[in-house]
Structure 1
Amino acid sequence: MSLYQYQQQAKEHLQQWKVGALFMEAGTGKTRVSCELVNSVPELDLVVWFAPLRTIKSPAGVASVIDEVNKWSDFKCNTLFVGVESIGSSDRKYLDVLQQIKEARKPFVIVDESIKIKNMTAKRTRRLLEISKYAEYKLILNGTPLSKNLLDLWAQMEFLSPAILQMDLTKFKNTFCKYTEVTKTLNNRFQYKREIITGYENIDYLYSLIRHYIYECDLKLQVRQIYNTLKYKVDKSSLETYNNIKEIFLNDEMLMYKNNNIFLEMTQKMQHSYCCSEDKIKTLRHLFKDIDESKTIIFCNFIMSQEFCRREFPKALVLSYHQSAFGLNLQDYRNTIYFDKNWDYAVREQSNHRTYRVGQTADCRYWDLDGNIGLDNLFNKCLEKKMNMVEYFKSLSLKTLKEKL
């Protein structure tokens, strides 16, 4: 199968350099282009492919990144597939990979989902930057548009080559980020300062530095994405539990600290209280009278939801958001059900592209299950406005938050 025109353009553009970045929207076939670029380099003796562990060890019946690479290429050298999380969590794995790259004569290093290279305080990021020093050929893959994560660019470009930006992180922030320093007071005694990014500047200059080394591409298919909402009623028992949790968490002491972990724990427990409501299950059973269960993905937040859906709908593919929303190629499916809501817009956007991707021949349909409860309304608002729900909660007064929930 020949390359699509945009894939050929990406290959031709990045073939000119020894390092490069594919900022191509999820579903555009970054893996295929990557294989072509690796194959274009003669006499490689090692390929190291870093990817999220969930894409290397994918669910049963779902193609892994190893399957995808083998589908498009047969590298004529030693090939390692390494979970990017392992580099931060396992000293043994990190040192083993680092030693193999050091000993290789001509290695090629690829980081899939390079959004994982961003936090400079993270051990994973520091170790990947150390590994990058010993490879001449490097490629990063990112399904998030360049404009959505400018602050994360420094570490990603530093991984490719310090010669691209030629500035440290502090200079990068001072050159391209507009930020303000906010002082907060706790209990009228303790103060702490926090920098908040308020915008970006000198973007044309930034693009002039990196444009040779990146290729950007949006996904355009001849099939449609069709979104639907199914309403259901939360049962009385679940609603009572939900309200009890709300009263426990929403008090003056909690509001004074406005701790992120408290808000997250509260929303998780409140959502868990009604995640398997009777009418919700009934609504889904009714939907499966009209759609093919075996062509359907069900995304869940909770283990209880996953176990329930696997038991009730055994032909469907039941997945968790954070383990499976990124990276997997699920083009054999065409229906996606969001059984539990998730407020993270990036996760939601990526989950859409498990089915809507190159090679899909059918329209992709999505269903949200929408309960008659305040928390679901807030989930919807945060997704619609692309807001961080925790930060939104922290901006509300105790009275307003209770009313909205």
Structure 2
Amino acid sequence: MTRAGKTDVLITGLAVLSAFGRGLGALAAGLDAGRPAFAPVTRFDVSGRRVGVAATVPGSPDLDDELWWLVDEACDEAKLGTAERAGAPLFLAVHGDPRLARAKPAQRPRHGGSAFAAGLAEHTGLGPARAYTSACVAASTAIADAAGAISRGETDRVVVAGGYLVEPDQYALFDAGRALAADGFVRPFSAGRRGLLLGDGAGAVVLESAAAAGARGIEPLARLAGWGRAGDAHHPCQPHPRGRGLARAVTDALRRAEIGPADLGYVNAHGSGTAQSDAAETLALRTALGECAATVPVSSTKALHGQALEASGILELAVTLHALRGGRLPVNAGFLEPDEDCALNLVLTETKASPAYALSLNAAFGGSNTALLLGTAP
């Protein structure tokens, strides 16, 4: 196997918001406690809905303000000055400006995803902006694109941001589609799983070449060792029943990093808690990891912080980073009893570990799949 790309890609700054609060510390505390953040929705009226819970921060946060703060925080951690910011593209994963749905027709172009990304880039002093709107793989696709550009020597660094705050329109769609778990719990890979629940999530990450970070004396948080993307081309909403696209994404990420399945120490699974998706993901891991699929620790933290849609890739990258650096693996909460279709080595109790490599998986409607592989900092 040969490395695809010309240089290592490092993570030098990261900021995150979750239902557990602001910052990686708040997220880590919530993960370590293993208590789901779901509670009754008070941000908008859910009295006419089948399900009335989500994982949200208090009040009615503004997505613009949160993303501005997160991008600044990540850039500050990476010690990016004005010149470094101006030369760094912004890749933004977002459904669109939250004001879009209620804007007058003539005003809608200024509220689309591209306009929203351009405004955020201008406000935070970053370079050209690009918007990603591909639902649960939006942020992870943006991260993979950024890593590819850096590894090919096209740019020194890219700032990737993403955000989704639970709001009435998407909530209504998932509720009407009976995708939300009626019992108020997400139960990934468990018998009795009944669906997903939405959650607030937003974050920003600075990706840089090893040369650029080294020239500024920056100590990286981790290395983005590999990445992979693949499509199922199977169904608009359902994954391929054998998880073929996701398996290819995992295989590509491992090949790019020049490691084998035995080197993996943890998998942060997509694990939406739906019957078809979890079974397909299990088969994908068996295909990609072979015999190691029975031994590598796996958990889905959506059972704790909820499904953050466009922000999932960044939120769960932060989760995977904590697993890599924190000395313990996140628990697969909500588990009731084994399901023979989901025979994986699930993290069900407190597990201390310091993996050298950890994998973060995401999948989305339309059969899109991504795999991001983190390695310990060089």
TM-score category by the smaller chain?
under 0.3
Structure with greater proportional helix content: 1
Structure with the greater alpha carbon radius of gyration = 1
